[in-house]
Amino acid sequence: MFQSERHSAGDELQVTCEDPVFDAVSQWLSEDPDARGPEFERIVPHIRLPYCTSAYLCHVVQQTPSMRAEACSHLVDEARDFQLQPEHQTQVRVVWDTPSVVKSEHQS
């Protein structure tokens, strides 16, 4: 199981965009989609989707079946708005000002 946490600089996983973070969570989900689907819906809001590359957001994230679920689809819309309409950046639900950190429960 994954725990998604926000930490300050100097933590284990720092990325320049969120593409690899979404990839890791998607890979984890694909190993047991039936059992992990509900957990995915809890984890994915912690991925800073607005900081995915535009192409990745459109061609990968938006096309991922689990992201089409009611619990997740608004996150893609929000990320697209953030990227395409700078005036909406102040209306996004979370301030993404720290690096992403995703770690397994088994990591210390």
From residue 45, give the alpha-carbon distance in Å to each of 1, 10, 19, 67, 79: 16, 22, 14, 11, 11
pTM listed for this prediction: 0.72
Residue spans of the domains in the chain: they are 18-94
Q: Which helix (H) or strand (E) holds 103?
A: strand 100-104
For 80, phi then psi, to 5°, come to -65, -45
The pLDDT tens digits for 57-78 are 999 999 999 999 888 999 999 8
Dig out the tokens for 71 from the structure. Answer: 């619990």
Of 25-39, 51-65, 90-104, the range with the lowest mean pLDDT is 90-104
Predicted pLDDT of residue 106: 43
CA angle 61, 78, 94 (to 5 degrees): 110
Token representation of residue 65: 């079946």
